[in-house]
A and B are shown apart, each in its own frame.
Chain A
Amino acid sequence: MADGWIEDRGVANGEAAGDAIAGSPHVCRAAQRSRALPRLLGKLLRFATLMFAVSFVTFLLVSSSPIDPVQANVGQTAYATMTPERRVQLAERWDVGTPVWERYTAWLGDALQGDLGESLRFNAPVVEVVGERFGNSVALLAVSWLLSGVIGFALGVAAGVTRGSLFDRVVRGWCYVLAATPAFWLALVALMVFAVYLGWFPLGFSIPIGASAEVSLATRLHHMVLPALVLSMTGIANVALHTREKTCDVMASPYVRLARARGEGTWAVAVRHGLRNLVLPALTLQFAQVSEIFGGSVLVEQVFSYPGLGQAAVTAGLGGDAPLLVGIALASAALVFAGNALANVLYGVVDPRMRGELTHGA
């Protein structure tokens, strides 16, 4: 404690940086390597092995399914009335007979050339379907991710600074409830209240039903507001509660006490001495939440009939569209990986001491 009076800023910074590293193990491993190029190569190698593993695991899972893709796609009645020749023909189209290994090696060979196969449900190449659906989802995902991060961080800091106050207790209670609320139910209730009863927003979809491709940006935004708000709710609680804890630690630290003794006000202390230390753990968490937000988008898009990647995942899963499922799993894994990689770059921006070690070429 006695030393803290002199070294306080540094100690607190060190703690925050340490937390960021502890949050993701591969950052730690990356930090140990000092050369930039090997690190970049290592990163690429990691990405490649991860993608390889994800594709293999998903392929294996999808292939071992007892669900008959032919039956799942044509429906019970159509299947029952179908001629045996037609069944064989369809089974061939869905690759029913071939062993897993053969199919996987064939798929891998194509995949390395950028061909992920044909989606059975959408009758289009998987790459095309995933690309188009991702294009629809990306705005929704980005807006909700940003909103949840900004709102969560602001609430967390405000609650931590005013610790013990009514505001703090309300924020905490709200976060607990929010964390216990399933995203799809929140979406249901929001749809019911704001779309059905109040009529402020459309009943789902990304464009009006029956409208052609040229829809104004305002209409698209109007369709996106409600899903984006609901989706952002799912991420707020985590960031807010975590940031609140950190803020409490910072506000109880010796360097804050020193700043107070110099005569700075509570909010000035929080902004000038707290924020930088608080942003780092919040960033780590927020980037780790990319996966959560994507998971939430599957549910929210399903409720709002929003034609994004998440809804395609549900359609593919229910319809036995194995190639598309693998494609979506790969796309989501790449998104999560990109989130983590971006976090590493941003650590350097926020914390100058980590600049030399982490951001070179990363």
Chain B
Amino acid sequence: MQAATDGAACRAAASLGAQDAAVEVLHEPRYLGILSGRRALAASVAVTVLVLIAVVAGGILVEPVAQTTDFAARNLAPSPVHIFGTDWMGRDMLARTLAGLATSVVVGLGAAAASSVIALVLAAAAALGGTRVDAAVAWIIDLVMGIPHIVLLILVSYALGRGTLGVMVGIALTHWPSLARVLRAEILQVRAQPYIACSRALGVRSVRLAVTHMLPHVLPQYLVGLVLLFPHAILHEASITFLGFGLSPEQPAIGVILSEAMGYLTAGAWWLAVFPGVALVVVVLLFDRAAAALRRLITPQEVQL
């Protein structure tokens, strides 16, 4: 069903299949739309990255605007001047949303990167450090997975006196187990390869072995796992900030904006909640889709599916 790439016959069959589903064709590649090839996947990843860079840069640039209060323009509904409306202090919600997104993305990226490093270190220790270390790491994973993320985040944030550091450390400490499992399996698989034994027999030192023969194999999985962590990290940052444990109310953050919006629900100020939320969903969705595209790029069999 899948890997049918040879020649014009198949392409003809594909277009035939796309037009007329009633015709049963063996080895019919599925029509996946315009963005289905490797190149298109790479392009979509690139576009996503550009959009996200634009969001962060824009957010940092408009931060002064986001802080400017104008009490003459309080609680305005969306209009051409204030596309997202204004809040109770007359701040432009578009600027606030952008600044908040930038903060969320930066905090999320930092926390996810730290978390992925924890995952890599523990996975390598578990896979290469012998059975005892392996059991210890498995136990730590069970412990971290045993408490719901949000509860653990609340605890860590509380322990660090709330604030940005609390969120980042909390996310870094809670999000690594799934990636660590993947990486451990990957390292174990690579370690069992004959060429590793061969290199070892030839006298290659273990550090060089790890850097030149193992790292390149684990790196793609690691990078994809890292990108897959981003959406979770951003969502959890927003959630924990919304609850009041994360970034302080003075900082521009989506969680802060939305928790303020809660007070205006019955007052009819729908734009305070809707637009920032939609913007957050779009950014998280972009990350998520980019990660999925990347994963397909590094696993050849999935590109063909």
Q: How far is the CB of B239 from chain A (nearest CB, A)?
A: 6
> A180 contacts B273, CB within 8 Å?
no
- Segment among B68-76, B90-98, B213-221, B276-284 that sits at the interface with chain A: B276-284
Shortest Cβ gap from B91 to chain A (Å):
19
Question: In the bound complex, do residue A329 and residue B280 qualify as a contact, i.e. CB atoms below 8 Å apart?
Answer: no
Given the interface pairs A182-B239, A189-B274, A302-B243, the reply to whether A313 lies near B154 with Cβ below 8 Å is yes
Count of A residues near B, CB < 8 Å? 52
The reply to whether B151 and A298 contact each other, CB–CB distance below 8 Å, is yes
What distance in Å separates the Cβ of B151 from its nearest Cβ neighbour in chain A?
Answer: 5
- Please give me the residue from chain A that is nearest to B244 by CB atom: A318
Q: For residues 137 through 181 of chain A, which have their beta carbon under 8 Å from a beta carbon of chain B?
A: 164, 176-177, 179-181
The residues of A that contact B157 with a CB separation of less than 8 Å are 317
Across the interface, name the chain B residue whose C-beta is closest to A293.
B148
Complex contact A62–B159 (CB within 8 A)? yes
- A65-B158, A196-B265, A337-B146 known; A185+B285 contact, CB < 8 A: no
B57 contacts which chain A residues (CB < 8 A)?
A: none
Contact residues, B142-159 vs A (CB, 8 A): 142-143, 145-152, 154-159
| B158→A295 contact, CB < 8 A | no
Quick check: is A342 within 8 A (CB to CB) of the other chain?
no
Minimum CB distance partner of B157 in chain A: A317
Also in contact, A188 and B277, with CB within 8 A (given A298-B150, A325-B154, A332-B148) = yes
Q: Mask for A50-73, Cβ within 8 A of B = 1, else 0?
A: 100110011011101111000000
Are B148 and A179 interface neighbours, CB within 8 A? no
Please determine whether A189 and B273 come into contact, CB atoms closer than 8 angstroms: yes
Q: Does A303 contact B (CB under 8 A)?
A: yes
In the complex, chain B residues whose CB is within 8 Å of the CB of A303 = 262
Most buried by A among B30, B159, B268: B159
Q: Give the complex CA separation of A25 and B160 in angstroms.
A: 32
| Min CB gap B133→A, angstroms | 15
Q: Within 8 Å CB of A61, what residues of B?
A: 155-156, 158-159
Given contacts A62-B158, A299-B243, contact A177 B285 (CB under 8 A): yes
- Taking CB atoms, residues of chain A closer than 8 Å to B268 are 196
Q: A67-B158, A185-B258, A295-B151 are in contact. Are A252 and B1 (CB under 8 A)?
A: yes
Q: Is the CB of B151 within 8 A of A313?
A: yes
CA distance A295 to B138 in the complex (A): 22
CA distance A58 to B150 in the complex (A): 13
Cβ of B38 < 8 Å from any Cβ of A? no
Q: How many residues of B contact A (CB 8 A)?
A: 47
Query: Quick check: is A36 within 8 A (CB to CB) of the other chain?
Result: no
Do A180 and B285 touch (CB < 8 A)? yes
Q: Does B266 contact A (CB under 8 A)?
A: yes
Q: A61-B158, A313-B154 are in contact. Are A188 and B146 (CB under 8 A)?
A: no
* A295: B residues at CB distance < 8 A: 148-151
Contact with A along B1-31 (1 / 0, CB 8 A): 1000000000000000000000000000011
Task: Give bound CA distance, A333 to B161, whole Å.
Answer: 23
Name the A residues within 8 Å of B277 (CB-CB): 182, 185, 188-189
- Which residues of A sit under 8 angstroms from B266, Cβ to Cβ? 196, 203
Within 8 A of B (CB), among A178-229: 179-185, 188-189, 191-192, 196, 203
A26 within 8 Å of B (CB atoms): yes
A66 lies within 8 A of B161 (CB): yes
A residues sitting closer than 8 Å to B (CB atoms) are: 25-26, 50, 53-54, 57-58, 60-62, 64-67, 164, 176-177, 179-185, 188-189, 191-192, 196, 203, 252, 291-292, 294-296, 298-299, 302-303, 313-314, 317-318, 320, 325, 328-329, 332-333, 336-337
26 residue pairs from A and B, CB less than 8 Å apart = A58-B155, A65-B159, A65-B160, A66-B160, A67-B158, A67-B162, A164-B31, A180-B281, A182-B281, A188-B277, A192-B270, A192-B273, A196-B266, A292-B149, A295-B151, A296-B150, A298-B151, A314-B243, A317-B157, A317-B243, A318-B243, A318-B245, A325-B158, A328-B151, A329-B151, A332-B151
- Minimum-distance CB pairs A-B, first 5: A295-B150, A61-B159, A180-B284, A185-B277, A180-B285
A sample of 15 more A-B contacts (CB under 8 A), given A185-B273, A325-B155, is A26-B142, A50-B142, A60-B159, A61-B155, A65-B158, A67-B158, A180-B281, A181-B284, A182-B238, A189-B273, A196-B266, A252-B1, A298-B148, A313-B151, A332-B151
Q: Residues on B close to A: CB < 8 A?
A: 1, 30-31, 138, 142-143, 145-152, 154-162, 231, 235, 238-239, 242-245, 258, 261-262, 265-266, 268, 270, 273-274, 277, 280-281, 284-285, 288-289
